[in-house]
Chains A and B, each alone.
Chain A
Amino acid sequence: MSATPTLWPQPSIIIWVSPNGSDTIGNGTTLHPYKTIEYALYNFTEGNQIRLMDGIYTPANSIVIDGISGSIFAENPNEVTIKPLLATIDNACISIKNVERFSISGVNIVQPDDSTDNYAGVYANNVNNLVVYSCNVYNFDFPLTQIGYGIFASGTGRIERCYVYNVTGGEIYGIKTTGLDIVDCEAAVLSGVSVTGIAGDNK
């Protein structure tokens, strides 16, 4: 017998977050969830899952996952909205990078009111086994001078059942992937100078 296969693990820990939770007295459980995604990320380690309870989350800046595998799941699909106050880190509301395995599921992503330097809803780079599932990305207005992406992903994995709509700008892509499959997604109501609904390549 060879070595035990590497398993796609269940979350080692589920870190619960709720807009009604608390970062001071909460402990990340269902009964005592944290309040902010930032604080959950502070406690986020390999294989963890951040489970977002219903509500609107307004992190101070981009949500960044760098180098830690795991997942972010909405407790109820699309009952969770993430609308950062700023999205300047990696120019994206959510940035996932340098990760061997990550999933994000069931989340609505909306552009900050202050859209300075925001060029993407979801940005994933150098991510393997990425699954972006059932996420809605909408209401983005990118600057004419930048390439804007509803979802950008490079690595391996797939974008599935995601809906990108109402995006404007100069050169924009609803969904653009390099190396990922695109399945059952929809891109609608995009307008700009150079507009591509769904783009894929693997080179």
Chain B
Amino acid sequence: MTDFPQYYPDNIHIDMDDTIFVRGNVVSDITGDHAVGFSLHNIKNLRAKNNRALRIRSPLNNAKGFEIAVIEDAYLVYNTASRVDTGFDFYSLDKLDVFNMTAHNCTSCVTVAATGNFQNIAFSAYQDTPLYRASKGFVIDPSYSINMDYVIHFGLATLVDGTTVEGDEVSEKQILYMDEPNDDLTPDYISELVNSGTENPIKDENVDIGGIESPVTSELTAQRNYWYNLIDNSFWNIANPQAAEVSFIKAFQSRVLANTEVKKSSVMDDIYLKTAQSVERFSELYPMYARYVNPSKFKKRVMDMWFSGHKPAVTQSYQNGIGGYNLLPSFFKRMEDYEDGWIIGVSYIAHDNWLNSMEDLKYGIGIDVMGTSTMNQATSGECYNNVMGSIADIAPVRWFLHDEVQPAGYLMFTDMYNSFEDCVLTNMHYDDDFNISINAVGQDGKLVTPLIRTSTVMASGAPSGFVEVSLLDRIYSENITRDLYYRQGTSLTTMPAWEELTDYIGGVLEVDQPYLQFQITVENVIREIDYEFQGIGLRQYSSERDWTRPVGYIAHYIEFEPGAATKSKIAPPIEHEGLLEFKDDGVMHTCGWCVYVPKAMRLTTTKIRLDFATSGLGFAGITQVILSVYLIPDTYVIAPPAMSGTFSVEMYKDKLSYIDLDISAMDANTELIFLTMARDSSDPVDTLAASLLFANGRSING
């Protein structure tokens, strides 16, 4: 039986004026005298994102991939047209901004009869495709002029037919490389090369497209060479350069996009740009930047962009690099690869041989699933090896990144889904693509959501109107603090003062006004990319999910360095709600984190194994902790009793430790797992662990 989301989030309508979202669609194999993939017109505000038009054909040679017309404000990102007479046709537009557009094998990639901005654009025409041999890039109406920057092209007869204000333009010597072998957008002969590994086009040394060699000048932290050397020593010599390069490049590109988007703003401070969004989408369609870098250029660029004096930031960057956000680096083991697989949380595993002193580990992979078969050297050697020395974090729900059905009872407000693009974050900006300036380091930043109409916010139960709120975000710097506020009212003008929600993971809020609004304030955000708002999750409150946080719960990250059990400091933010504390004062302390299990992964098992990995263990290389596990059923649907138990587990240095749990009274609707963790009082002080790197769960039934 499938439980459909009865409170599907997309019923939510945030107050916006006549904005139409067209996102994630594919139109292919259309034939007609007049054939159009996407016809979007007569719209006040259009947000078109991640759409693809393929093989739109007309015997009259007038097929169009996208026809965008008669729109006041058109904003297009990550759209692609391939094998179309005219890839994109823009006209009668008051405002046009286009990012990361790709057009392949079009007679005219873009025709424009409007004033617009185009950035991160890629055009290509196959040499072996006679139909498009005379391909043009921009065909611009003489009455208009466009701004273009970062335009990459290959094989075009003409890049621009018309007037442009040009930025960087690169003419490629080879076909643009796409990282989806055998995809429709990948030239066949390139695919063969990629697949055979005989010639990896991304390794070609070429010009530096960025053109900006200046270092970060306003970064406050130091020791840049450390990271420089790190990349230098490990990156280009890894066992699987193709895969790793592509993955790193994805993150690289995402940063480029992020910067250019910020740059685009005329008021630099009024845009909150969520870089994760860039990673999620940009990398999938626009990986050809890889061909413009050589090792030295690339590492320099990476260093410039990812430079940080903090471990967390660097680690997180690597996580981005291997697809930690979109979960789909090229060598990633997708969930689909594992039948009957399920997960607890999501693990992001980094390129961190340095971090874990695992000399043999050259790159990490992300495994967010472990199947019914036990992960071991024999069954999944590569994964196993990499996981052994990896770092991960426990993530909040990200089903929307997995293309999973949203669990019943949840509402998710993210920028991708609910117009949170209107959020604002003040404080810092980018001067240009690679130079970061900080308006006033340490000053407050603020992110304010649009008004959310509560008429569609689920709120029921007894008493009526209670919802559970979770803030989903990422913090890349240990210095950042942030607070969540809300307010309710009858209109924007009558909104009362903000009230703080101190319990921002699973906090309970009574909704009793027509409109609801959230505000997140951040402090000490050195760079914009150090804080990432992902969304706010709401779901119907149920008292049966209540749990009492352990005594000693302190919402700070505590790290113990190897062998230095008495020294406490801030630890890498495994996840902001991933709280881990061991304190050496002779008293047992607890910590806890919560993991939401996506619906698709709901437990149907009677045995699960929780895996743990640590880093930097003390001299003895072992520590012992006590776990309390609460498996909380989703009483929204059905209400089996919660279970809990206390178990002891030993953690070893650079090894996976695990604990097997027999669970009963679970059913397919169980979805929440809370774990609390306490240091075992019998654990010798000097062997205290440093960081819990990750925890995973898997079924071991059968």
Q: Is B674 close to A, CB under 8 A?
A: no
| Contact with A184, one of B1, B25, B36, B40 (Cβ below 8 angstroms) | B25
Q: Contact between B43 and A2 (Cβ–Cβ < 8 Å)?
A: no
CB distance from A139 to the nearest CB of B (A): 15
Beta-carbon nearest neighbor of B636 in chain A: A10
B512: chain A residues at CB < 8 Å are: 1-2, 4-5
| Contact with A186, one of B23, B25, B464, B514 (Cβ below 8 angstroms) | B25
Q: Contact between B30 and A197 (Cβ–Cβ < 8 Å)?
A: yes
Q: Contact between B38 and A11 (Cβ–Cβ < 8 Å)?
A: no
The distance in angstroms between the C-alpha atoms of A187 and B28, with both chains bound, is: 6
The distance in angstroms between the C-alpha atoms of A10 and B18, with both chains bound, is: 28
Q: Is B166 close to A, CB under 8 A?
A: no
Interface string of A73-115 (1 = CB under 8 A from B): 1011100000000000000000000000101011000000000
Q: Contact between B464 and A4 (Cβ–Cβ < 8 Å)?
A: yes
Q: Contact between A181 and B23 (Cβ–Cβ < 8 Å)?
A: yes
| Chain A at the B interface: SS class | strand
Q: Contact between B514 and A188 (Cβ–Cβ < 8 Å)?
A: no
Q: Contact between A199 and B38 (Cβ–Cβ < 8 Å)?
A: yes
Q: Contact between A103 and B511 (Cβ–Cβ < 8 Å)?
A: no
**With contact pairs A8-B456, A197-B38, A201-B43 given, residues A131 and B10 touching in the complex (Cβ less than 8 Å):** yes
Mark out the residues of chain B between 546 and 596 whose CB falls within 8 Å of any chain A CB in the assembled complex.
none
Q: Is A41 close to B, CB under 8 A?
A: no
Q: Contact between B34 and A183 (Cβ–Cβ < 8 Å)?
A: no
The distance in angstroms between the C-alpha atoms of A148 and B403, with both chains bound, is: 30
Q: Contact between B11 and A131 (Cβ–Cβ < 8 Å)?
A: yes
B2: chain A residues at CB < 8 Å are: 75-77, 106
The distance in angstroms between the C-alpha atoms of A8 and B164, with both chains bound, is: 50
Q: Contact between A183 and B4 (Cβ–Cβ < 8 Å)?
A: no
A129: chain B residues at CB < 8 Å are: 11, 13, 456
Q: Is A160 close to B, CB under 8 A?
A: yes
Q: Contact between A202 and B43 (Cβ–Cβ < 8 Å)?
A: yes
Interface string of A160-203 (1 = CB under 8 A from B): 10000000000010100001111111111111111111111111
Q: Is B32 close to A, CB under 8 A?
A: yes
Q: Contact between A183 and B23 (Cβ–Cβ < 8 Å)?
A: yes
**With contact pairs A106-B4, A198-B39 given, residues A191 and B32 touching in the complex (Cβ less than 8 Å):** yes
Q: Contact between B23 and A197 (Cβ–Cβ < 8 Å)?
A: no
| Contact with A131, one of B8, B38, B51, B455 (Cβ below 8 angstroms) | B8
Q: Contact between A2 and B39 (Cβ–Cβ < 8 Å)?
A: no
Beta-carbon nearest neighbor of A9 in chain B: B460
A184: chain B residues at CB < 8 Å are: 23-25, 403
Q: Is B432 close to A, CB under 8 A?
A: no
Q: Contact between A195 and B20 (Cβ–Cβ < 8 Å)?
A: no
Q: Is B490 close to A, CB under 8 A?
A: yes
The distance in angstroms between the C-alpha atoms of A184 and B51, with both chains bound, is: 8
The distance in angstroms between the C-alpha atoms of A187 and B56, with both chains bound, is: 11
The distance in angstroms between the C-alpha atoms of A185 and B21, with both chains bound, is: 12
Q: Contact between B4 and A190 (Cβ–Cβ < 8 Å)?
A: no
B6: chain A residues at CB < 8 Å are: 10-11
A172: chain B residues at CB < 8 Å are: 32
The distance in angstroms between the C-alpha atoms of A8 and B408, with both chains bound, is: 13
Q: Is B382 close to A, CB under 8 A?
A: no
| Contact with A189, one of B23, B29, B41, B456 (Cβ below 8 angstroms) | B29
B13: chain A residues at CB < 8 Å are: 129, 156
CB distance from B64 to the nearest CB of A (A): 9
Q: Contact between B490 and A186 (Cβ–Cβ < 8 Å)?
A: no
Q: Is B630 close to A, CB under 8 A?
A: no
Interface string of A1-27 (1 = CB under 8 A from B): 110111111110000000000000000
How many residues on A have C-beta within 8 angstroms of the other chain's C-beta atoms?
52
The distance in angstroms between the C-alpha atoms of A5 and B166, with both chains bound, is: 52
Q: Is A138 close to B, CB under 8 A?
A: no
Q: Contact between A195 and B36 (Cβ–Cβ < 8 Å)?
A: yes
Q: Contact between B8 and A5 (Cβ–Cβ < 8 Å)?
A: no
A35: chain B residues at CB < 8 Å are: none
CB distance from B448 to the nearest CB of A (A): 21
Q: Contact between B464 and A73 (Cβ–Cβ < 8 Å)?
A: no
| Contact with B36, one of A10, A182, A197 (Cβ below 8 angstroms) | A197
Q: Contact between B27 and A187 (Cβ–Cβ < 8 Å)?
A: yes
Q: Contact between B1 and A75 (Cβ–Cβ < 8 Å)?
A: yes
CB distance from A161 to the nearest CB of B (A): 9
A152: chain B residues at CB < 8 Å are: none
The distance in angstroms between the C-alpha atoms of A189 and B56, with both chains bound, is: 10
B33: chain A residues at CB < 8 Å are: 193-194
A191: chain B residues at CB < 8 Å are: 30-32
Q: Contact between B465 and A201 (Cβ–Cβ < 8 Å)?
A: no
A103: chain B residues at CB < 8 Å are: 8, 11
A202: chain B residues at CB < 8 Å are: 18, 20, 42-44
Q: Contact between A6 and B455 (Cβ–Cβ < 8 Å)?
A: yes
The distance in angstroms between the C-alpha atoms of A88 and B6, with both chains bound, is: 31
Q: Is A123 close to B, CB under 8 A?
A: no
| Contact with A5, one of B41, B42, B513 (Cβ below 8 angstroms) | B513
Q: Contact between B38 and A158 (Cβ–Cβ < 8 Å)?
A: no
CB distance from A31 to the nearest CB of B (A): 14
Mark out the residues of chain A between 111 and 165 whose CB falls within 8 Å of any chain B CB in the assembled complex.
129, 131, 133, 156-158, 160
**With contact pairs A7-B460, A77-B2 given, residues A198 and B38 touching in the complex (Cβ less than 8 Å):** yes
The distance in angstroms between the C-alpha atoms of A1 and B512, with both chains bound, is: 7
The distance in angstroms between the C-alpha atoms of A201 and B74, with both chains bound, is: 12
Q: Is B207 close to A, CB under 8 A?
A: no
The distance in angstroms between the C-alpha atoms of A110 and B459, with both chains bound, is: 37
CB distance from A29 to the nearest CB of B (A): 14
The distance in angstroms between the C-alpha atoms of A196 and B63, with both chains bound, is: 10
The distance in angstroms between the C-alpha atoms of A133 and B51, with both chains bound, is: 18
B28: chain A residues at CB < 8 Å are: 186-189, 197
Q: Contact between B25 and A183 (Cβ–Cβ < 8 Å)?
A: yes
Interface string of A35-78 (1 = CB under 8 A from B): 00000000000000000000000000000000000000101110
**With contact pairs A4-B512, A195-B36, A200-B22 given, residues A10 and B31 touching in the complex (Cβ less than 8 Å):** no
Mark out the residues of chain B between 506 and 536 whose CB falls within 8 Å of any chain A CB in the assembled complex.
511-514
| Contact with B20, one of A5, A8, A186, A201 (Cβ below 8 angstroms) | A201
CB distance from B89 to the nearest CB of A (A): 13
A75: chain B residues at CB < 8 Å are: 1-2
The distance in angstroms between the C-alpha atoms of A105 and B408, with both chains bound, is: 14
CB distance from A10 to the nearest CB of B (A): 6
The distance in angstroms between the C-alpha atoms of A187 and B35, with both chains bound, is: 13
Q: Is B603 close to A, CB under 8 A?
A: no
CB distance from B419 to the nearest CB of A (A): 11
A185: chain B residues at CB < 8 Å are: 24-26
Q: Is B633 close to A, CB under 8 A?
A: no
User: Counting chain B CB atoms within 10 Å of each CB, which of A2, A8, A10 scores highest?
Assistant: A8
Q: Is B457 close to A, CB under 8 A?
A: yes
**With contact pairs A181-B20, A181-B21 given, residues A190 and B31 touching in the complex (Cβ less than 8 Å):** yes
Q: Contact between A7 and B459 (Cβ–Cβ < 8 Å)?
A: yes
CB distance from B10 to the nearest CB of A (A): 5
| Contact with A8, one of B7, B24, B38, B514 (Cβ below 8 angstroms) | B7
CB distance from B18 to the nearest CB of A (A): 5
Q: Is B53 close to A, CB under 8 A?
A: yes
Beta-carbon nearest neighbor of A129 in chain B: B11
| Contact with B43, one of A101, A158, A192, A200 (Cβ below 8 angstroms) | A200
Q: Contact between A182 and B22 (Cβ–Cβ < 8 Å)?
A: yes
Closest 3 CB pairs of A and B: A197-B27, A195-B32, A184-B24
10 new A-B pairs (CB below 8 Å) besides A157-B11, A196-B36, A202-B42? A8-B458, A103-B8, A129-B13, A174-B30, A181-B21, A181-B23, A187-B30, A188-B30, A192-B31, A195-B31
Q: Can you show 9 pairs from A to B with CB atoms below 8 A apart?
A: A5-B457, A5-B465, A77-B2, A133-B8, A174-B27, A183-B10, A188-B27, A189-B28, A202-B20
Q: Mark A residues whose CB is within 8 Å of B.
A: 1-2, 4-11, 73, 75-77, 101, 103, 105-106, 129, 131, 133, 156-158, 160, 172, 174, 179-203
